[in-house]
Structures are given as C-alpha cells and as structure tokens.
Structure 1
Amino acid sequence: MLTPIDFLTDLFNPTLAFLPRALLMAVLSAVVCGVVGTHVVLRGMAFIGDAVAHSVFPGLAVAFLLSGSLVLGGAVAGVTTAVLVALLSQNRRLKEDSVIGVLFVGAFALGVVVISRAPGYAGSLQDFLFGSITGVPASDVPVALAGGAVVLAMVAAPHPQIVAVSLDRETARAAGLPVLLLDVLLSVAVSLAVVISVQTIGNVLVLALLVTPATTARLLTDRLGTMMWLGPLVGALASVVGLYLSWSIDLPTGGTIVLVLTAGFVAAWLVAPRHGLLARRRVGR
C-alpha cells in the first residue's frame, strides 16, 4: 500500500497527469453535490437525485457517439428532463414522483438504446454506470469548473427563497414567492451537479455524493448555515481519501469514495455530539 507521501509524489509526477486531474474532478464533484445535496436532504428529495442520474444518460450517450463533451451532453438532457418534470407536475392529477418515474426511467432506457449503437458497447456502458475518473479528458475539466461555478451561483443567489419553499411550500406561495421557478431552478441545479459527478463516480453511485455528505452534516449540526459548508467539506475529504485508497490498493475509485462516505455517515450516526446513538443513550439514562 502506498504511503500518503508516495501518493503526493505521484500527484506531481508528469507522467501521471491524469491523477491530479482526477483529484480535482473528485473534489469539485463533492463540493458542488454537497451544496446542492443540502437542499435535496432538506426537502426529502433523495429520489429525484437518483432519477436525475438516469435522466442524463441519453445526453451522455449521444455526446459519446459524437465524440463531444460528456458534461455538455449530460447537461442538456438533464436540464430538459428537469424542466419537463416541473411543468408536467403542475397538473393536479399527476403527482411529482409519478412524473419523475415515467420521464427519468424513459430517458435512461433511451440512453441504453443509444449507447448500444456505439462500438465497444459493454465497456462504454460500464464507464457510464460506474465512472471512469482516471479517464476524464483534459478538455472536460474547464467545462466542469464552469458548470460547477454556475451551479453554486444558481443555489447561492436565491438561497433564502429555496429554503423557504423547502420548509413550507404553501406559506412560500402565499408570500408571493415564485414556487414553480424555484422548483425548476433547484431541479436544474441537481441535474448539473449530477452531470459534473457522473464521470467521477458513475450513474449508479452518484446519489451518494448528493445525499450522504449532507445527511452526515445534518447529524453533526442543527444550523443550516453550518450544514451548507460542512456537507461539501465531508464530501471533499471523502473524495481525497477514497482516491488515495483506490490508487494505492487498486480498487474502483467510485465505489471506494462511496464506501468512505458511508463509513463517515456511520461514524456520525454513532458519535455525533447531540444526535449520535451514544449521545442519545446518555441523555436517556
């Protein structure tokens, strides 16, 4: 197993240029998903995070076939589907989760059909589903950085309004807040965060970056402001540790990052100062 010093040496090795690029993408994905994931956890929207990961698949598949940017392709598909869900959900006879189930599963099926037309179908599908962080092309990094900045700006500017809708939709609507617009904005932000993270961790595991850091932070603090920076920090640290372990022990990067995140959540569930299992037992005595 490599020591942390050996890992740092590899990061600065010119022949391993993909490694620092992988680290940058992992941390970027964790920070963006950590911020957006706070709102996802606050609203109880974990299902939409998983569904969005499926909806971006056809855009990724088309971009792959055309040798274009996977980030841009996934963004177009994810944003289009998110807007359609917000609009179709306005029909009172349709519940939002039903619309999400229909559109996102349909989008994923379309992606499977499209990618099946690509040469090397099996390997391509595996990269999409489980990530290929060391294979991220250099051309995608500036696009991902720009996309991450856009997502953070989208969430930061209307932050109080998004929180108000999350806590009480009817009160927010009565107060004159544009609930539909805010719903669309958050759905688009989730879509873009997922697209940025897909190459790092894959469609199957991307929900972990959205939900686990924010859920861990929720166990550690009662303050929303603290949760907003603690979630991204937890995700970023887990990404660094996960990448180090996967590189030094030759493990799948996405799966290793998720396991580190899960271990952090379990630790918080056990020993969090106020909401951990041990703390609750002490109070119950």
Structure 2
Amino acid sequence: MSSLLELITQPLSFPFMQRALLAAMVSGMVCAILSCYLVLKGWSLMGDAISHAVLPGVVLAWVAGAPIVVGAFASGLLCSVFTGYIKENCRIKEDTVMGIVFSGMFAIGLVLFARIETDQHLSHILFGNVLGISNAELWQCLIISLIVTLVMLVKRKDMLLYCFDPAQARVIGLRVKWLHYGLLCMLALTIVAALQAIGIVLVIAMLITPGITAFMLCRRFNTMLICAVLTSLFSSVVGTLASFWLDAATGPCIVLVQASLFLLAWLITAIKGPNKKPA
C-alpha cells in the first residue's frame, strides 16, 4: 500500500508534474465532453481535419509575433468553414472534402515550418510537451477549457438534437447553421486547448476515444457524458504518472491508457451484447 502511494505522491512533489497533471486532466475533460457530440454526429474525421489544419496558423502566428493560440484557432476555423463551403458547392462527399482540405493545410504547415527558422521544435507541436507547460500556457488551457465546457453544457439539449436529427432541430425553430458553426468553433477551441498537452497528431484520439468508449457502455446521453469524462480523467492521471516512471512521452501514454479502456469496453459489450443508441 505504501509503495502504491509513493508511486502517486513522488511524481507530484515536482511542480512541473503538478502543472502537467492539471493540464492533462483539464484538456482530457473538455475533449471528453466534445467527443460525445462528435461520435453521435459522425464527425470523427472533422476533429482529425481541424487538428492537422492548425499547423500553418501556428507557424504564421509565431512569425507575426502573435499568440500561437490565435493562429491555431483561426487556421482551424478556416479549415472547417472552407470544408463546409466546398461541400455545399460541389458533389464531393464531406469526408472526402475533409481529407483533401486537412491534408493540404497540414502540408502547407510543414512547408512553412521547414522554410522558416524558429526556436520551436516540431515534435512539441505535433506530439505536445505537457511536462514543459508554463504557468501562462496552463492558464490559457484552463480558460479555454472552461469556456468550451460552459457553452457545451448550456447548449447541451440543442446540440444533442442537432447531432441526432438536424431536420427536426430546424422544424422546431433552432438555428441549425448557428449550431453547426458553433460546434465547429468549440471543436477548434478544444484542439487549441489540448495542443500544448498532447499535440496535433494525438488530439484526435482524445477527441474520439472517450466518447466511443462511453457510447459502447451507456444507453443514455447524460450517462455517456459522465462516463466519457471519468474515463478521460482516469487516462490523464494514469498516463501522466506512467510517463514519469517509464521516462516516456506523456501524450502517447495517455492515449495508450484510453485505447486500453476502449478495448476493455469492447470486451464487455462483446460478452453482454451491443447497447442501443444513447437517448
């Protein structure tokens, strides 16, 4: 028992580990909330698209001397709006459009990064550097996560109806277009909040795995939200502590724990039988 307690308390004796754990938990919580809506809406690839599309915005913001969060948000939002515009004005399906747009913007970001000399290391942007997060970056993460969480909870019922049945939402008088772009804005902000903790490449796992794990285990949406948040918080704590003792990257450790929980949920549903769609 004492050795188990030491495994938890010893890493937390370091200030950088305290900041890392808090950032991972906050990022994981807001990603889990949004992941439930993305899973129900079928927007898994949209999260992947925006997460990759923020790279050119990050590089250009650094060149202009602007906050990276501003460039990342603007670039992600541009990707989502551009995707919607192309989809509405041609016969190509949405998933195909997203694949073209995000790969193109990610390629632009890589070219810009290769051509512009910076003191930023590419791996920190791609895979995160939660152990090196500063107090200012931590506050940025906390504020953005709080804003997204409050908006998603306040508009929970409207967003839920929009994700389930946009036609019904339009019939009862909801502004579907505002909900559509509002969800995209919240997605872009969430990716910005998680950027420092887990990076561009791994954020898609944080945005999808908690939601799909909860989807397999729960029958009601409220229960699904709680389950997703709890699995994400557990993964953030275990993954961060494991990265300290294993001397491994924190982001991948968190994602591996989430993947393990998903496999466990899959085994449970395989034994008990599949759940119905959450209501």
TM-score, normalised with respect to structure 1 = 0.87
Contact 2:58–2:72 (CA under 8 A) maintained in structure 1: yes
Structure 1 position 145, deviation (Å): 1.2
Q: Read off the aligned partner of 2:20 and give its amino acid letter.
A: A
> Which residue is 1:184 aligned to?
181
Q: Read off the aligned partner of 1:256 and give its amino acid letter.
A: C
From 271, 274, 280, give the equivalent of 2:273.
Answer: 280
Structure 1 position 120, deviation (Å): 6.2
Contact 2:11–2:244 (CA under 8 A) maintained in structure 1: no
Q: Read off the aligned partner of 2:88 and give its amino acid letter.
A: Q
Contact 1:65–1:115 (CA under 8 A) maintained in structure 2: no
1:8-23 matches, within 5 Å, as 8-12=9-13, 16-23=14-21
> Which residue is 2:277 aligned to?
none
Structure 1 position 65, deviation (Å): 4.2
Structure 1 position 162, deviation (Å): 1.5
1:87-166 matches, within 5 Å, as 87-91=85-89, 93-119=91-117, 124-166=121-163
Question: Structure 1 regions of 5+ residues with no counterpart?
Answer: none
User: Structure 1 residues 4 and 208, CA, compared in 2 at 3 Å: closer, same or farther?
Assistant: farther
Aligned length: 272
User: Structure 1 residues 116 and 56, CA, compared in 2 at 3 Å: closer, same or farther?
Assistant: same
Contact 2:73–2:189 (CA under 8 A) maintained in structure 1: yes
User: Structure 1 residues 120 and 76, CA, compared in 2 at 3 Å: closer, same or farther?
Assistant: closer
Contact 1:132–1:202 (CA under 8 A) maintained in structure 2: yes
Structure 1 position 227, deviation (Å): 0.8
Structure 1 position 137, deviation (Å): 2.2
From 75, 78, 87, give the equivalent of 1:77.
Answer: 75
2-structure distance, mates of 1:186, 1:85: 14
User: Structure 1 residues 158 and 87, CA, compared in 2 at 3 Å: closer, same or farther?
Assistant: farther
> What per-residue deviation string (whole Å, max 9, x for no partner) do you get for residues 206-231 of structure 1?
11111111111112210101111211
> Which residue is 1:39 aligned to?
37
Contact 1:86–1:180 (CA under 8 A) maintained in structure 2: no
> What per-residue deviation string (whole Å, max 9, x for no partner) do you get for residues 173-210 of structure 1?
23332111111011111111111112211211111111
Q: Read off the aligned partner of 2:158 and give its amino acid letter.
A: Q
Structure 1 position 48, deviation (Å): 0.6
Structure 1 position 237, deviation (Å): 0.7
Secondary structure of the 2:180 match is helix
> Which residue is 2:209 aligned to?
212
Is the deviation greater in 208-217 or in 55-64? 55-64
> Which residue is 1:231 aligned to?
228
